[in-house]
Structure 1
Amino acid sequence: MNRTLLVAAPLAMTAYGLTRIIGRLDGHYGPGADWQLAHLFGLAGMLLFIPIVLGLRPLTRTAGTPVTAITLAGLATTIVQFAADMILAVAATDRDHLKTLQHQFTDQPGIQLAFYDIGPMLFFLGIVTLAALTAAAGHLPWWSPALMLIAVLLPAADLNLMPLTGLLMLAALVPLTRARPTGGQRPGPSPHPSHAATRTPG
């Protein structure tokens, strides 16, 4: 698995969270450069997680196939959510106008449910399950799924915790960056691995 992706995807989520917090300090977050930059980081993180999810699939044996599909579906809806918020922000003249445009978008039949309420949850639940299956197959330590679970629960409690979510995801996945291939077998973790909501954007 590409080690750069394993680091870049979680850090992009941390960058999204930090940029969002900084952008909200002046009380005028969105629309504007801070909104677009934060959502660009978030969008990049979701896109970078696609090859990570696909890379985890071979490490989970056959049980990972349906989970991978569910996780990718969740990623797709989250990508649409980030992209929509960026596009709407371009069209908006101020914060109130942006909220109006967002409501017009989410009021369309099925949009709120698919892209905000249910869809993104599939990614978060899926990535935890994939981490658990990968650990069960011996490619991640037992604590990786635990960290991943904590990571995905934090934004549901408070979106300002998103920077920590990215760091915990990084810690959960970092043992895979230390994997070493042995013969023709798939890479596994090194003998001593390092410790490493409804509306997501906004």
Structure 2
Amino acid sequence: MKLPGLLLLSAPLCIAGYGVIRLAGRVDGEYGPGPDWQAAHLFGLLGMVLFVPVVLNLGRELPPSRWRDATLVLTLAGLAAGIVQFLADISFSALAANKADMSRLSDQFSELPGVRPLVYTVVPPLFFLGLVVLTVMLAARRQLPKWSPPLVLVGVLLGAVDLNFLPLTGAAILVALLPLAEPNVLGRVRLRAGR
């Protein structure tokens, strides 16, 4: 079974788009709150939402097992936490009059019991860790090339080291997962571009 090409293109491209808009917004030193902040975070939110069916489809490519199911649960938990984080950041930006106000609202939210580990520090990285594990499992079954897991890992680590590398993170995930896309998805994209 091949994954829908639109999902495999759109989800990581949204993560890359989040990174690009974030970089552009930071050029003038006035990033957030404002249109650039909202646009970047909307791209990030859309990327997280689109990765839900991508992850579920990756799981369907693997035979049922406890290891697969546990990996899917943890990966989806990370995605859910990321979605909540983006929704919170978008809301705080909409409510805030300035950057200090936005930081105050964010701090108040993150100081609620359990919020920091669940939404910011511990659970969100499970999405990226789970994505690496899923690509390793798929490569072990020769459903992905051997270079896909290291490429995802490098992309994930770059984004973890510095958010300025998020465009590379999205690009790395896209290239790593592209072999699972429907046949000729790139051919159709090229054909449309040539019209």
User: Where does 1:20-99 land on structure 2 (aligned, <5 Å)?
Assistant: 20-61=22-63, 62=65, 63-99=67-103
Quote the offset at 1:88 in angstroms. Answer: 0.8
Other-structure match for 2:192? none
What does the per-residue CA deviation read over 1:111-167, in whole Å, with 9 as the maximum and x for residues that have no partner?
Answer: 011110011111010000001111111210111011011111111111100000000
Deviations for 1:146-191, whole angstroms, at most 9, x for unmatched residues?
10111111111111000000000001001111559xxxxxxxxxxx
Post-superposition shift, 1:60? 2.1
Structure 1 vs Structure 2: percent identity of aligned residues?
47
Kindly indicate whether the alpha-carbon contact (under 8 Å) linking 1:78 and 1:120 is maintained by their aligned counterparts in 2.
yes
Letter in 1 for 2:31: Y
Question: In the aligned structure 1, how far is the partner of 2:141 from the partner of 2:70?
Answer: 16
The offset of 1:59, in angstroms, is 1.6
Q: Which residue of 1 aligns with 2:156?
A: 152
Counterpart contact for 2:155–2:168, Cα < 8 Å: yes
Quote the residue 2:105 is aligned against. Answer: 101
Counterpart of 2:19 in structure 1 is: 17
Paired residue type of 1:127: L
Q: Kindly tell me the number of residue pairs found equivalent between the two proteins.
A: 180
Q: TM-score, normalised by structure 2?
A: 0.90
Question: Alpha carbon RMSD of aligned pairs, Å?
Answer: 1.1
| Structure 2 residue 163 is the aligned partner of structure 1 residue 129 | no
The answer to whether the 8 Å contact 2:151/2:172 transfers is yes
1-structure distance, mates of 2:182, 2:61: 15
Q: Which moved more, 1:59-68 or 1:156-165?
A: 59-68
Which residue is equivalent to 1:200? Answer: none
Decide whether the 8 Å contact of 2:16 with 2:170 is kept in 1: yes
Q: TM-score, normalization: structure 1?
A: 0.87
1:169 corresponds to which letter in structure 2?
I
Gapped regions of structure 2 (runs ≥ 5)? 185-195
Q: Do the aligned residues in 2 keep the contact of 1:59 with 1:137 (CA within 8 Å)?
A: no
Q: The residue matched to 1:101 in structure 2 has which SS?
A: helix
Please list every run of 5 or more consecutive structure 1 residues that lacks an aligned counterpart in the other structure. Answer: 181-202
Aligned mates of 1:95, 1:133 — CA distance in 2: 43
